[in-house]
Amino acid sequence: MSNGTIDWALDLRVRITTLLDNTITGTVYAFCQTTNTITLIEDPPAEQSTTTDSNTKPLRPNYRIIKTSFVRDVTTLSRPKKTTIPPSAASIAQGTPHRDAFARAEPPIGPVAVAQLNAKAEAAVAAERKRRARIGVGVTKEAQAFFDLLSNTVPSIWHGKSIIAMEEVRIDPPYTPESCLADDPDSAALRYVKRVVEGTREKLAHTNSQIKGG
């Protein structure tokens, strides 16, 4: 089936029955033969479609993407209001290549900013990696609470059950100033992290005492 053969279906209002006997009513927005999916703009709920308040903002359309293999039955409810032949249909009738099958889709189909989407995906992956680096595996709740408070002051990540602070200081359990190690025992970073660790433990002890005291 060529793209041109499904151009006539755009804007049809249909009711789709799925293999699970669920019904979805809406307007055909797009059809993808690569993924074998049909996209509908769902009809709004009855209570929303009857709203006449002029101050009410128009609802954003809700799109449903359905695999064609999941469709049991399709019933046409109404045809598009437009009666003009779209340029794509005319080009097919003339034997010219079909290049704008979705030219009359509403809302219009705009270009996809692939670079922007890739940047968002990369940022999301980086954020997830950063989030996971802040969650200790196999550590106690007290250790995680210590890490959370410590990382508010110095950059920290988990390395097994140890904590790496400022990329050069390792804090081993039980996370005391004495359990802080660095390649250079006289480094300023080590001295600083020890002070922060001591302060963090004092804050946690104070918080825990308040909780126990009620």
Do 137 and 41 belong together in one domain? no
Are residues 163 and 202 both part of a single domain? Answer: yes
Contact 99, 88 (CB under 8 A): yes
Could you tell me the strand order of the sheet in which 13-18 lies? 63-67, 37-42, 23-32, 13-18, 71-78
Lowest mean pLDDT, pick from 69-78, 103-112, 118-127, 160-169: 103-112
Final residue in a domain of this structure, among 83, 110, 137: 110
Residue after which a domain boundary falls, among 110, 142, 166: 110
Which long-range contacts does 202-210 make (Cβ < 8 Å, 24+ apart)? Answer: 203/149, 204/142, 204/145, 204/146, 204/149
Q: Is residue 167 located within the same domain as residue 76?
A: no
> Residue 120 pLDDT > 50, yes or no?
yes
Determine contact, residues 165/193, Cβ cutoff 8 Å: yes
Q: What's the average model confidence in pLDDT over 20-35? A: 89
Same domain, 89 and 20: yes
Asked if 7 contacts 85 with a C-beta cutoff of 8 angstroms, the reply is no
Residue 16's nearest CA partner among 39, 46, 49, 44 is 39
Residues 73, 47 share a domain: yes
Enumerate residues 6+ apart whose C-beta is below 8 A from 135: 144, 158
To the question of pTM greater than 0.85 for the whole model, the response is no
Whole-number pLDDT of residue 106: 56
123 and 104 share a domain? no
* Stretch 51-78: mean pLDDT: 79
For the residues 45-49, what does the mean pLDDT come to? 61
CATH label of the domain that carries residue 31? 2.30.30.100
57 and 127 both lie in a single domain: no
Q: Which domain holds residue 189?
A: 119-213
Residue ending a domain, choose from 54, 78, 110: 110
